[in-house]
Chain A
Amino acid sequence: MRGATALATLALALTLGCSEERAPAPPEPERPTAGISVRLYFPGPDRLLHAEQHRLDPALQPETRARRLLQLLLAGPTGEDLIAPLDGIERARVHLLEGGVAYVDLIPAEQSGPPQMGSADELLTVYSVVNTLALNVPEVKRVVLLWNGVQHVSFAGHVDTSAPLTPDPRLNAT
């Protein structure tokens, strides 16, 4: 049965396209006992990233797992106090290169540059993606963030996004 579920998930991923996930549909509830545990990092009111536990099919390939994690981030947190880090993003593409660099392209619903925001929001937005991918997909060591295909020096004028980013666990709430 689990094998069939894995095949169905993989077939669905291939049908949707191998490099992109869309936000609108909320994630299916994960069965608490099935799959491997992953932790999604969502910003909280204390300006730290709070983990929400989900379960994913262990048979997912690294890039597919990364896409699934992005889909869950795009769908937002289930906890009431937590904040959707990718508000305004319609879909995200991810591509995993050999050597552990994941390229994540955030595509906004409206054709525009990255939004203006304070450094606190920018840090939490950037590291919700970086920490979620790098701390849940062993093959992802660093993350490059693109906005609508373009790698910016910084999204909102603070955090340096010109180079691959490693996770920063200091931003995670203990």
Chain B
Amino acid sequence: MSRRFRIRRARRALAPLLAPFLVLLVAAPAAAQEDDPGAEEGTAPLLSVGTGTLSVDGRSVPFAISRTAIGPLVELAPVVGSLGGQLTPIEGTTAWILEIQGTRAVLGSNSQAVTVGEEIWSLSQTPRAVGVRVLVPVDLLQRLYGNLLGWSFEWRNDSATLVARRGARREIPLTVSAVQLQGLTTLVLEFATPPRYNVDKQAAAVRVDLVGDAVRLTARPELPVGSLVSRLEVRPERILLQLAPNTRVDDYVLSEPFRLVFDVYADAPATEPEERTPVTPRDLPGVHAIVLDPGHGGPETGAVGAGGSQEKELTLLLARELERRLETRLPVDALLTRNRDEGLGLDERSAYANANKADVFVSLHLNSTRGGSAHGAETYFLSLTASDEAAAAAAARENRAGGQASEASADLELILWDLAQSRHLSESQRLAKLIQAELNRSLGLRDRGVKQAPFRVLKGAAMPAVLVELGFINNPADEERLNDPEYRSRLIEALVRAIERFRASQEEPISRGGAEAAP
């Protein structure tokens, strides 16, 4: 087994574990410079993570730490668990929301700025994501927990300990009320003054821990008949809501007076998600597997035409028909990233192509523009941003300097996995040109060439990859045509012919690498 093949296998096997880390390395050139002032731009150093201690109220809580040239980074979740607040990852991003007493801070793993309420703060250094953990500089804790809750922090470098000291404990009057509607119980905790607290939602219970504060009931609480909160327990430093079976709970805050509200709903039975069928691995040269990606889906409609046509619906129609015709005409497997109306992340789409060892990735879209009367089709391949190019170039330099196979060079191969499309740019450009030429011929368009853009869905694809805009849905004439099966058939025929030509050229014995360098 060749080294190249071993690395490819390792890359694919480790990809799910390493992808977040690689994204961090690629997406945070600014952070890299700050962590290591001597580092060349784009060469993010690996973050060495150790264990430290969070000391709070005489308790020692182990947590992950890292030291950079600027100072310590400490794991945020244990701090939130001990001092209060709620930390929620933002789906589809490497950002988190930290809510403390109704104040919302948004921090990202590649952002040295954090938005707090209406302000943007600069941090001493960028928060870093390591797997599912987020590590933050101590000055963020000082400003958030210090300003909002009165905590102070001391970092002891020799023992890697963060000592958190609280302000004075308060006793806060608490009034509990509950209302029962059909299928919904609303329970309100009304505090005389905003408390320091942490909400922990579990499967059948919700726990509200007071952090540095205590509560005193103003009256004995009563639950209504049929309440979906089956039991309520109030202690000075903890409030426990026991939930009835098959319920779900939402919580939110109301102010003046400060109220913590829990809406408990009777839940509908869950349905099993449809499982994707893995396909047989393919390691032979040539084009054997083609992944077609119908753009958008689920809550993301994509562009919408004046006649109400949605991009997500038409791209799915086009992709299904293209899949059928490709498999009829060519000895290939065609796979769809989605075969129904469902939301799918951009990285999931290219990851699906990678996991299925696709030889070609085609993302299908319909365009729209607010001005003018643009019509017709356009084909894009990836343009890397300067940050991507710097990271790719640095990794490539290291790779060349590495010489013999080594763990380090294998790591760099893994880093390049995330920039895999950079290796396929000239092939992607060639595929884009073939597709555009066929579309021009089919639709009678003047050749406007192919285009480049930093489209996320193309970035992670480890094979020739293009994004085709098959028409302008905002143009009434294009919208009408796209709803015509005969017109769609012409588009599909053009795509099939282009892929057929690309496939044939891939099986020619002479390498074409570098024949058409991407601009």
Interface residues of A (CB under 8 A from B): 19-20, 43-47, 81-83, 87, 93, 95, 97, 99, 101, 103, 105, 116-121, 123-124, 142, 144, 146, 149-154, 157-160, 162-166, 168, 170
| A to B CB contacts below 8 Å, 15 in the list | A45-B371, A99-B33, A103-B120, A119-B380, A120-B367, A120-B374, A121-B303, A149-B104, A158-B455, A158-B457, A158-B467, A160-B456, A162-B110, A165-B385, A165-B454
B304: chain A residues at CB < 8 Å are: 116
C-alpha spacing A114/B23, complex, angstroms: 22
A142 and B455 form a contact (CB under 8 A): no
- State which of B260-268, B272-280, B468-476 sits at the interface with chain A: B468-476
B110 and A151 form a contact (CB under 8 A): yes
A163 and B387 form a contact (CB under 8 A): yes
B150-188 interface mask toward A, CB cutoff 8 Å, 1 = contact, 0 = none?
000000000000000000000000000000000000000
From A95, A151, A158, B95 is in contact (CB under 8 Å) with A151
Q: A157-B296, A160-B454 in contact; A97/B113 too (CB < 8 A)?
A: yes
C-alpha spacing A76/B104, complex, angstroms: 31
From A43, A99, A146, A153, B456 is in contact (CB under 8 Å) with A153
CB distance from A109 to the nearest CB of B (A): 15
CB distance from A51 to the nearest CB of B (A): 16
A153 and B92 form a contact (CB under 8 A): yes
A103: chain B residues at CB < 8 Å are: 111, 113, 120
Count chain B residues whose beta carbon lies closer than 8 angstroms to a beta carbon of A: 64
A123: chain B residues at CB < 8 Å are: 453
Please name the residue on chain B nearest to A83 by beta carbon. B371
A149: chain B residues at CB < 8 Å are: 104, 106, 115
Please name the residue on chain A nearest to B363 by beta carbon. A158
A152 and B296 form a contact (CB under 8 A): no
CB distance from B355 to the nearest CB of A (A): 19
B300 and A157 form a contact (CB under 8 A): yes
B394-417 interface mask toward A, CB cutoff 8 Å, 1 = contact, 0 = none?
000000000000000000000000
Give me 16 other A-B pairs in contact (C-beta within 8 A), A121-B370, A168-B383 excluded: A47-B371, A99-B34, A116-B303, A117-B368, A118-B303, A119-B365, A119-B453, A119-B469, A121-B303, A121-B369, A151-B110, A152-B93, A153-B347, A154-B346, A162-B110, A163-B26
A157: chain B residues at CB < 8 Å are: 295-296, 300, 302, 346, 457
Q: Most A CB atoms within 10 A — which of B34, B112, B452, B472? A: B112
A150: chain B residues at CB < 8 Å are: 90, 93, 95, 106
B301 at the A interface (CB under 8 A): yes
C-alpha spacing A43/B24, complex, angstroms: 32
B301 and A116 form a contact (CB under 8 A): yes
C-alpha spacing A47/B372, complex, angstroms: 8
B467 and A119 form a contact (CB under 8 A): yes
B11 at the A interface (CB under 8 A): no
Please name the residue on chain A nearest to B105 by beta carbon. A149
B94: chain A residues at CB < 8 Å are: 151, 162
C-alpha spacing A165/B442, complex, angstroms: 36
A95 and B120 form a contact (CB under 8 A): yes
A166 and B387 form a contact (CB under 8 A): yes
Interface residues of B (CB under 8 A from A): 23, 26-30, 33-34, 90, 92-95, 104, 106, 108, 110-113, 115, 118-120, 122, 295-296, 300-304, 311, 345-347, 365-374, 380, 383, 385-388, 452-457, 459, 467, 469, 472-474
C-alpha spacing A154/B387, complex, angstroms: 16
A105: chain B residues at CB < 8 Å are: 115, 120
C-alpha spacing A19/B115, complex, angstroms: 11
Q: Using a Cβ cutoff of 8 Å, how many contacts connect chains A and B?
A: 158
B92: chain A residues at CB < 8 Å are: 152-153
CB distance from A24 to the nearest CB of B (A): 18
A165: chain B residues at CB < 8 Å are: 385, 454
C-alpha spacing A8/B456, complex, angstroms: 44
C-alpha spacing A44/B370, complex, angstroms: 9
A119 and B371 form a contact (CB under 8 A): no
Please name the residue on chain B nearest to A100 by beta carbon. B30
C-alpha spacing A46/B371, complex, angstroms: 8
A117: chain B residues at CB < 8 Å are: 303, 368
C-alpha spacing A157/B370, complex, angstroms: 17
B367: chain A residues at CB < 8 Å are: 118-120
C-alpha spacing A118/B467, complex, angstroms: 12
From A93, A95, A152, A166, B385 is in contact (CB under 8 Å) with A166
A82: chain B residues at CB < 8 Å are: 371
Please name the residue on chain B nearest to A160 by beta carbon. B456
B122 and A116 form a contact (CB under 8 A): no
CB distance from B278 to the nearest CB of A (A): 25
Q: Most A CB atoms within 10 A — which of B366, B371, B467, B469? A: B371
CB distance from B297 to the nearest CB of A (A): 9
Please name the residue on chain A nearest to B90 by beta carbon. A150
CB distance from B271 to the nearest CB of A (A): 25
CB distance from B430 to the nearest CB of A (A): 20
